[in-house]
């Protein structure tokens, strides 16, 4: 495994997203023992960046990650997120990045993760009711106290990134970025590069779609967020299958799997980014991590970059309005 720097934080250039072990995707919570083995295998393979969030479950994904990392805590860069639960009353899925709420979130995350510090603590979505300067100031205080080591943002817009960075250096921005979600390339990525901030592309496999293993809408269980997602439903779903087929054909040409091709394409976009493919299976973490050794030739990269855009938005209306704020 190779390592890169997000700002001044060294991480494996392929991380592991833990969300789907407990939340949001088909099979979540069905086999925690295999999820724990997956985290252990990832660490054995040199993966250091492990990604979770308070809202995943809520809470149970951090519990699981904390259990899995007992005795291995010092081998990883533990990343979690606050701001999607309003602890003051309105609860889960209500944005609150006010200083008191951040402190409550971080104290809870530390407890569940079984650690005395979070290596990389992200605001999960920009809170329109709290100036980003207040949020950055609150995280800076937690950093001064040693409870948090690095500050991150997720799906933030260029202006917010600049304002936050002026209060306290932002180490990384985590945003959706993959072969079929390229929106950050125009406005966000240039700002990250100008300011020396790292990028953590989430959903690098297009929530599984780019692997070619999702073939029918009926593959999704109750509770799988893809059931109501514009890209995964109706005519868009059918049109996007052709895109997954193209990735599969290119993978066959280069002798790799589609998941590995999707990850290797991201790795080719720079040394300042570390995607976090999600899986709850040992075999797949082995497959995904092996993408570190896959070099795609210039022609293949051009072909992949030229694939047609996905049909459908990444989110429905409410989710879309929270992006690039």
Binding site for ligand NAP (CB under 6 A): 17-20, 25, 27, 51, 154-155, 174, 202-208, 211, 213, 259, 276-281, 284, 287-288
Distance CA 240, CA 2 (A): 32
Cα 20 to chain centroid distance, Å, stands at 11
- Catalytic residue, chosen from 3, 56, 122, 177, is 56
Nearest to 220 by CA among 232, 231, 212, 211: 232
Pick 121 or 276: Cβ nearer ligand NAP: 276
* Least distance from ligand NAP to the Cβ atom of residue 281, Å: 5
Which residue of this chain has its Cβ atom nearest to ligand NAP in the complex? 17
Strands (E), the chain: 3-6, 9-12, 16-17, 49-51, 77-82, 85-86, 91-92, 118-123, 148-154, 170-176, 198-202
Q: How far apart are CB 47 and ligand NAP at their closest, in Å?
A: 13
Do 171 and 198 meet the contact criterion of CB atoms below 8 Å apart?
yes
- Confirm whether 177 is a catalytic residue: no
Crossing angle of the two packed helices 298-305 and 234-254, in degrees rounded to 10: 180
Tokens standing for residue 89: 């009353």
CB of 144 to ligand NAP, least distance (A): 25
Smallest distance from the beta carbon of 316 to ligand NAP, in angstroms?
14
Return the number of the residue (154 or 171) whose C-beta is nearest ligand NAP: 154
Q: Which residues pair with 82 in a beta bridge?
A: 123
Residues designated as active site: 56
């Amino acid at each position: 495994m190779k390592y890169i720097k997000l700002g001044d934080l060294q991480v494996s250039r392929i991380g592991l997203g833990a969300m789907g072990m407990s939340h949001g995707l088909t099979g979540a919570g069905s086999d925690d023992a295999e999820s724990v083995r997956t985290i252990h295998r990832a660490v054995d393979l040199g993966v250091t960046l492990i990604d979770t969030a308070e809202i995943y479950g809520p809470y149970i994904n951090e519990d699981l990650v904390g259990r899995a990392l007992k005795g291995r805590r010092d081998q990883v860069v533990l990343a979690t997120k606050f701001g999607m639960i309003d602890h003051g009353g309105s609860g889960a899925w209500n944005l609150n990045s006010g200083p008191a709420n951040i402190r409550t979130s971080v104290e809870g995350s530390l407890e569940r993760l079984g650690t005395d510090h979070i290596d990389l603590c992200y605001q999960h979505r920009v809170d329109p009711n709290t100036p980003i300067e207040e949020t950055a100031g609150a995280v800076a205080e937690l950093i001064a106290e040693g409870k948090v080591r690095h500050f991150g943002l997720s799906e933030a817009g260029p202006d917010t990134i600049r304002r936050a960075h002026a209060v306290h250096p932002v180490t990384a921005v985590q945003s959706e970025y993959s072969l079929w979600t390229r929106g950050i390339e125009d406005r966000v990525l240039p700002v990250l590069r100008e300011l020396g901030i790292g990028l953590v592309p989430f959903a690098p496999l297009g929530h599984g779609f780019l692997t070619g293993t999702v073939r029918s809408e009926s593959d999704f269980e109750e509770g799988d967020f893809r059931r109501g997602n514009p890209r995964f439903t109706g005519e868009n779903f059918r049109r996007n299958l052709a895109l997954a087929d193209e990735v599969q054909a290119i993978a066959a040409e280069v002798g790799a799997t589609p998941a590995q091709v999707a990850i290797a394409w991201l790795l080719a976009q720079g040394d300042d980014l570390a995607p976090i493919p999600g899986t709850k299976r040992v075999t797949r973490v082995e497959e995904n991590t092996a993408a570190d050794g896959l070099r795609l030739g210039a022609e293949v990269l051009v072909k992949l970059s030229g694939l047609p855009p996905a049909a459908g938005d990444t989110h429905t209306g409410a989710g879309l309005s929270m992006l690039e704020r």
